[in-house]
Structure 1
């Protein structure tokens, strides 16, 4: 287990390093002059050149990258090129919205996808199973923006159950209002991602229903449903856990779109704004933080899968 953890930690470190190189290089080849954007349209070439020197944009690209990476090791994500303020505190403030949104979306996706996926497999030869599978196919194909608009029309406009837009100015100091503001956005992401989880859960459950150990348990006296619950669902849970490592990326991408749609002050909305302002320092730090979250979740899923799956432990021993 120790060797496995060391290998995964090294893989995580390499992944973060490669991600930082890709993010940094990609932003440097985008068209446009950051100094010109910051200085304004009426700035003279001399003023733009002077500002470029003040911002350090005239230094070799390799040195700019090394300075940025060196700051990351100290917990310093750099300063905004537009506001000149530190980036780290602002990202931390926005994560207080994005992380709860992603967590609530994940819970919604699991609540929607896992039970309905198992039910669709159990009812595979009945009309109910076909209806669930067809609905999952349709919902999984819906863009997150459309799903959000449909849920707003239903729960906010028609039923008046949930707030449509905004987040409390005092944030989580009023947890009931903050939680209520995230329910509809979380349902938007959770519905789409839950449909994907449903399809994987159905497929895993179907394979378990035909497994020898489940059929043997049913043959010695357990009902088919009880045999599935006792001996089949642990294997299904491992499959769902493996899928979550991939779906987390979809949750964060959905958060970027949903934060715009529902006017939530999260990292996704800040990222879109900073891209428009060509604030490279903030954008590259925001992208690296989001990438790091995805890699950390993948690392946690790998470790948890290793702990829960006895087959992997026996293979390595």
Structure 2
């Protein structure tokens, strides 16, 4: 198991280098010019001013030279500075990441609890009203985009009823978690609706597959209580594909939900990615994209390790 884990971990290094190169060279081909966003139109008329700024930020160097410098700085813990604001990217991430983690963790926990519960209940009471309701909710959650749910939440619960604030993470002058809680409700519920849909379907299909296995019939023939058959023999064995889905949700803890953060003006990583793309802030785009890529690779690594742990045949394959 240790050899298999180390092998998968070592494979992540060339993949990270390849992804970082693709991100860097792809952004270099875009027509966005960050200099145009940090200089006034009057100063932009002076070509000398533009060239001075490009030399200052190294934008006139060959692409391969800029990539080597950038990846070297990343390895030394220097993420660079935002071209637009001049702020250290590490400071931007340290400011924005807690907001994204707060939103994503609550949505992940809530959607996991609700999605798995409804999916398992749908499988146990197949073709009942519980099953039909769960399948209907899963289809609705997957077919309707997140921003529509967000807009509906704002219109109903914020504007019409006035129960919750419409935007931001915290009211002016407020401090502490309890003052942030009303701002969390709507974006967390919006994310939960979309995330629940996939989990419901995976949990239901996996549980139905397990309930048709011979060992479930054997357990019932031994007179084991039905609830014990479902929980001990069914639920535990049905978790494998559900855990895979959950592991691939982990990158959301870093990248956040770009759509939801913009709908609710949530000051997280997702909103900074959007503003950086609009302004052509290359250093911020590259660092945040690389962070998301690292999170995805870590999730893939975790899935491989879990599969090998749950099924020894995986790690014994040549």
| Equivalent residue number for residue 26 of structure 1 | 26
| Equivalent residue number for residue 197 of structure 1 | 199
Structure 1 residue 171: deviation in Å? 10
What residue ranges of structure 1 are gaps of 5+ in the alignment? none
Q: Give the number of aligned pairs.
A: 316
Structure 1 residue 250: deviation in Å? 6.2
Question: 1:112–1:191: 8 Å Cα contact kept in structure 2?
Answer: no
CA distance in 1, matches of 2:167, 2:63: 41
Task: Please give the secondary structure, in 2, of the residue aligned with 1:58.
Answer: coil
* Pairs within 5 Å for 1:177-216: 177-216=179-218
| Equivalent residue number for residue 282 of structure 2 | 280
Deviates more, 1:176-185 or 1:226-235: 176-185
Alignment partner of 1:296 is 2:307: no
Deviates more, 1:38-47 or 1:134-143: 38-47
CA gap 1:268/1:303 in 2 versus in 1, 3 angstroms: same
| Equivalent residue number for residue 73 of structure 1 | 75
| Equivalent residue number for residue 38 of structure 1 | 38
* Pairs within 5 Å for 1:1-317: 1-42=1-42, 43=44, 44-168=46-170, 174-249=176-251, 255-307=257-309, 309-312=310-313, 315=316
Structure 1 residue 89: deviation in Å? 1.4
CA gap 1:226/1:290 in 2 versus in 1, 3 angstroms: same
Question: 2:220–2:229: 8 Å Cα contact kept in structure 1?
Answer: yes
CA gap 1:6/1:224 in 2 versus in 1, 3 angstroms: same
Normalising by structure 1, what TM-score? Answer: 0.91
Normalising by structure 2, what TM-score? Answer: 0.90
Deviates more, 1:259-268 or 1:168-177: 168-177
What residue ranges of structure 2 are gaps of 5+ in the alignment? none
CA RMSD in angstroms, aligned pairs only:
2.5
Write the deviation string for residues 84-125 of structure 1: whole angstroms up to 9, x where unpaired.
231111112100111121111111211221010011112222
CA gap 1:67/1:181 in 2 versus in 1, 3 angstroms: same
CA distance in 1, matches of 2:207, 2:90: 44
Structure 1 residue 291: deviation in Å? 2.0
Deviates more, 1:39-48 or 1:78-87: 39-48
